[in-house]
Structure 1
């Protein structure tokens, strides 16, 4: 959804409410730096909200754009924090990073006045380390299936409830459209680049097949099992004729670009892609449907979506910790959460907002897809702690080897199990 009158009205209301965050202007203004991502309309919303806070407090905000790739962003953050750099006051962090970076952030609880109690309890638990609230949630995320509803209707196909049905439907429509002259149409696009996004995609496939979550909550390594191999074999099969070879270099935005230009039947992506697909000038405006990701085969198959979402945290190396914390409280308030949802299509981390008529009108699938968020599959960041990044790196490379045909799924997972055993010293993380 483009920035429109409804968004403008909501934003004006936000400026009024914003006064609660900081009611007095400082005698001498300071500048706070905040690192924000730029996927979809993320950076634009971040700037608008930062400007609103600055106008209400009399301070300045320096918005720093960070890499879209979560892997590259984490590496940048680790470098800055390891050096104790005061250059960034507020970091936008992935849901899996409190366990990796939490020691570098201050406890926000003394500044929130209980505002965190409005958020989903599971997210707050995720953001609490050693009794300290190291981050406040901006929005929550889960993988979703986007589909061309016009093409499904044309071919008399239902929205697929299983991966097997998706594969069959994708092939039928792709082949039919190509015979009709649409040579550039593909059955499915997803994030297959060797990075954190592939970890999310592959975790969804494996969990939906009943193959576990790579590392169980108790730390036991469970990835080398037949159901996990079946899930990866399924995805590797798409590479033969249903997905473009370029998908091996796709992250979220490349995936969206192909789908939104009208060149794919199905797409796996995050909620942010919805308003962009419906924006003015989008070739697929009015032709897109959104639903939960398909389930694996019976008897153990189920719908599974990787838990995502982003948070704001304040660096303990910041020279303006109290001011930075005030900015975070404002940026994650209920009023701001509405703005993230209205302009960017981001799912609120505050349950009460799923009853908001304006939000539901702008994003009609919010309420129907709420179960995808409340029961999403977490990546094994809690179980593996500071070693999560190494675990994820090993996982996405094993999956990449399977997708590219360098190794079979069975061999890739056996090698991965052995590598993780060495990394964990027998499961003792």
Structure 2
């Protein structure tokens, strides 16, 4: 693999005309940290460092994408040249485009191997502002051993999940397993709750908050029914503290063997099967349930990308690293070490990935049918739209107003924000 990596890097270097002898040999990359990402990152960039002689310093960011975005905007607004590259969420491209390097010319050929829709999500006007690293779509993790033990089927609806989670939780606690919970997820007031709640609402047939044509749709009976239903979980099948959970808190409960079900992203699969995991070999994954007699599942489209700051003083080296990180060798390493879903189409047929991380080829259809957050129709206002949405949801789940009251207020706030148009 080293030979192919070197060949790829030499090509990228030629295209970007890197003068390695005259430029600084260190670049910095800001990225959120979850799971084993620091160790995985070292493994991913090692071949690039060996081939170029440059080094990469990872600048750890909070796990919360909301907190990351806030810090990124502060740095970019200040013209910070200390950060050369940013790992960016799939929804941030329109909001950060003006402060990122256009990579369309240098990465045009490489992007032909990626899923076109994902490349398009990082294109603003005629600028390619970030290169895809991996895509994401959540799934339902379930304890196959506990379902078998208690004669339960894998749930297909949220109603079935609730009943099964309660049944197994009660039975296990009666047998002395007092720490077991039925279902853990991400309930904190941040972008992760927008993702969870969009799935509940959409799977109940309640729309996408703001529709692709820009219409505000969130205040409807099916969305209200979805949130009213979920509000019964904290304190019953989910700990009350779930309203402070992000991805890692949910994974922590799950991986210590203290949950029957978990909603989470693909990264938790490999960690769940690590040698020190209490659930190694005891779980499987499936698509997220449907609800309210609706027959379509919904999984929020996620994914992360790599962007080069226009304030970087090492742009050529940073572009070389971005090209490598978005290329086939780095994407394959990332899939094998972190169970991340590649954005390069051919890697879903890769024998090594299929053997070591079998969920990846299985997950292809999940993310191809995933539901995007309404960042495209709301444009630069998306961050505020999401904040208002997750706040309304969190209030509902916390008992601070009913779903009907909170969604009516949310509709008014979004209408004011929209004005005459997004």
Give the conservation status (yes or no) of the 8 Å contact 1:36–1:46.
Answer: no
The CA deviation at 1:413 is 0.6
Give the conservation status (yes or no) of the 8 Å contact 2:339–2:360.
Answer: no
The normalised TM-score by structure 2 is 0.96
- In angstroms, what is the RMSD of aligned CA positions? 1.6
Give the conservation status (yes or no) of the 8 Å contact 2:145–2:282.
Answer: yes
Give the conservation status (yes or no) of the 8 Å contact 1:94–1:310.
Answer: yes
| From 249, 269, 274, the counterpart of 2:269 | 274
Match of 1:242 in 2: 237
Distance 2:134 2:48 in 1: 18
The 5 Å alignment of 1:49-128 reads: 49-128=44-123
Match of 1:254 in 2: 249
| From 393, 398, 401, the counterpart of 1:404 | 398
Distance 2:2 2:239 in 1: 40
The CA deviation at 1:93 is 0.2
Give the conservation status (yes or no) of the 8 Å contact 2:8–2:324.
Answer: no
Moved over 4 A (4+): 10-20
The CA deviation at 1:21 is 3.8
Once the two structures are superposed, residues 369-422 of structure 1 have per-residue CA deviations (whole angstroms, 9 ceiling, x without a partner) of 211100100000111111111111100010001111111111111111011111
Distance 1:40 1:418, change over 3 A: same
Which range moved further: 248-257 or 105-114? Answer: 105-114
The CA deviation at 1:158 is 1.2
Match of 2:205 in 1: 210
Match of 2:318 in 1: 324
- Unaligned 5+ segments in structure 1 are 1-9
2:142 paired with 1:153: no
| From 410, 413, 416, the counterpart of 1:419 | 413
The CA deviation at 1:326 is 1.0
Task: Tell me the matched-pair count.
Answer: 418
Give the conservation status (yes or no) of the 8 Å contact 1:93–1:312.
Answer: yes
The CA deviation at 1:89 is 0.9
- Unaligned 5+ segments in structure 2 are none
Give the conservation status (yes or no) of the 8 Å contact 1:145–1:292.
Answer: yes
Once the two structures are superposed, residues 203-241 of structure 1 have per-residue CA deviations (whole angstroms, 9 ceiling, x without a partner) of 000011110110011111000000001111121111141
SS in 1 for 2:83: coil
The normalised TM-score by structure 1 is 0.94
SS in 2 for 1:146: strand
Distance 1:48 1:21, change over 3 A: farther
